[in-house]
Every structure is written in structure tokens, then in C-alpha cells.
Amino acid sequence: MNLTLRQLRVFEAVGRLKNFTRAAEELHLSQPAVSMQIKQLESNVGLALFDQVGKKISLTAAGHEMYQMSRIIDNQLNETEQILEDMKGFRHGRLIIAVASTANYFAPKLYAAFKREYAAITLNLDVTNREGLLAHLESNDLDMVIMGLPPKELDVEAQAFLDNPLVVIAPPGHPLAAQERINMERLQEETFIMREPGSGTRIAMERFFAEQGAELTTGMEMSSNEAIKQAVQAGLGLGIVSLHTLEMEIDSNRLVVLDVDAFPILRHWYIVHRKGKRLSPLAQAFKEFILGNTKNLLQK
């Protein structure tokens, strides 16, 4: 096959976006130019790479194989580009990170502090749930992730850099708001707003209450901490969230943290990447910055 990098990059964009027009916009090309590159690539391969029904396109079996290979090649080229840029002394460079949605309550302060030292870098950030973080680690398509519970099913290197206490929250007028040393028996009488199954917070909660021999009544399940906080404020139940998500609500007296025996559930935030991954000098600098400066920066 006589393939070009231009063809592969155009194909990767179309395969990822499932749309010729959006791929053309992303690549700053005309749609006919994108279509021509795909036709030339299919001619070189000798197989159809896309099926099209109306305006909807999808990858063929051959297209799926080509897409995986194009991602690998693109990642390797990006890694080479990053290494060469880093050799210029951090004057340029790109850092690709994914963070758990809960961590993004404090993470921007860390990024801002790091960027003050390396002003010319570009930071690509994906704020996602645990499923998204695991997908990134599985495909090894970025520098590192920030998450609360490193996966056991993947071969990763994980280093804790910050405590992550989970606390019970209630609206200020709740009957338990003024009580001290609330025991587990009393807590089980309440209805809870929970994170979705599979989230790091949900896993930690279920493990903790199983160890306590306690069962909680679930009133609703939410896919974000913001949704849980809003539901708790509305009086729909109690919630359990990271203390890092509560600064504004506590300051404005919209939520209170309950004094519950055995709480907070103490977890940690970890910086995680695949074991054996060759970090670029820029990624290594960011990792060392997070491990060495987080606590001081967040106390300011």
C-alpha cells in the first residue's frame, strides 16, 4: 500500500467524528478535499472503509482496522513531536491530561500554577467520568490522568498526591444538621442521593458501608456531583461527595457537612499513567510539579 500521512490524518478525523463536514472544519480543508483523500485511501487499500446511508456514515470492518492503526501512528507522531519540542527547553509543547469530574474542582488552580512556569505550553484537558478515564488508560492515548481510585485491572503506575475526604451533606434545615456524632443506625434511616454505579465515589461508598455492615436507602442516582448537590439542597435526600466540591456551598450556607461517626471516608487523589510509559520531559515536569506542590497551592 502506498499511503500518505495526510490521507491517514484525514481518515482518522472522519472516522472519529463520523462526519465529513466536521472533519473538514477541524482540518481546515474543504469537504471535497476530504472526500478526495478518503477515495484515494480506499483506492490504495482496495477496500471500502466507510458505509454511508443517507447522511450517516459508519466504519466498515476494514475501516475499523484502519482506524485503530491510524490512531497508533498519530499517537507515535505526536509523541515524537512532543519530544522534539521538549528538547527546545519547554518553549513549546503539548500536555494531554484527563481528570475525574470531581477533581476538576481544584485541578484548574494546579494547571494555572504550572502554566505560569511554562507559559508557552498547550494543555489539552478532558474532564470525564471513571469510564472515560479507564478508556484513556486502556488506549494509552494521553500523558496521564488524575483520578480517585486507580484501576486494578490495568497495569498502571499511580502515585497519591492529595487527600480526598468524602463527607455526608445535608441542607442547613435538616434535622441532623445540628446533631453531633451521628451513628450509623440513625444514618440508615435517611434516603441518599447516589452517584451512578461504577463511579469512583460510588465504589468507595459501597465498600465503606459494607465494612460497617450498613445498608443505605437510595432515592435517586445522579451522574455528577453538581446534580447531587442540587438534589440535596432541594431536600430530596442526603448525599456523599468529596469535600473538595463544597467550597461555594458551605461558604454560602446552602449545604452543611454532617458530623457522622467514622466519617469522612478518607480516599486519595492519584496521578496515573500506564506502567512503563515513556513520559515526555514536559509530562514528567508536570508530574513532579503535582507531587511536590499540590498541598501548598491548595492551602493558599
- Domain ranges in the chain are 5-72, 82-162+268-299, 163-267
The architecture that CATH gives domain 82-162+268-299 is: 3-Layer(aba) Sandwich (3.40)
In terms of DSSP bridges, do strands 191-195 and 217-222 run parallel, antiparallel, or are they unpaired? parallel
Two domains, one topology: 82-162+268-299 and 163-267: yes
Q: In angstroms, how far is CA 151 from the centroid of its own chain?
A: 13
Whether pTM > 0.85 for this model: the answer is no
3 burial type by CB count under 10 A (0-12 exposed, 13-18 middle, 19+ buried) = middle
The architecture that CATH gives domain 163-267 is: 3-Layer(aba) Sandwich (3.40)
pLDDT in tens, the chain (300 residues): 678 889 999 999 999 999 999 999 999 999 999 999 999 999 988 999 999 888 789 999 999 999 998 888 888 887 777 767 665 655 567 889 999 988 888 888 899 999 888 887 888 899 998 899 999 999 999 999 999 889 999 999 999 999 999 999 999 999 999 999 999 999 999 999 998 888 888 888 888 988 988 888 888 999 888 999 999 999 999 999 999 899 899 999 999 999 999 899 998 999 999 999 988 888 999 999 999 988 787 765
DSSP code of residue 187: H
Domain covering 5-72, topology = Arc Repressor Mutant, subunit A (1.10.10)
9, 77 in Cβ contact below 8 A? Answer: no
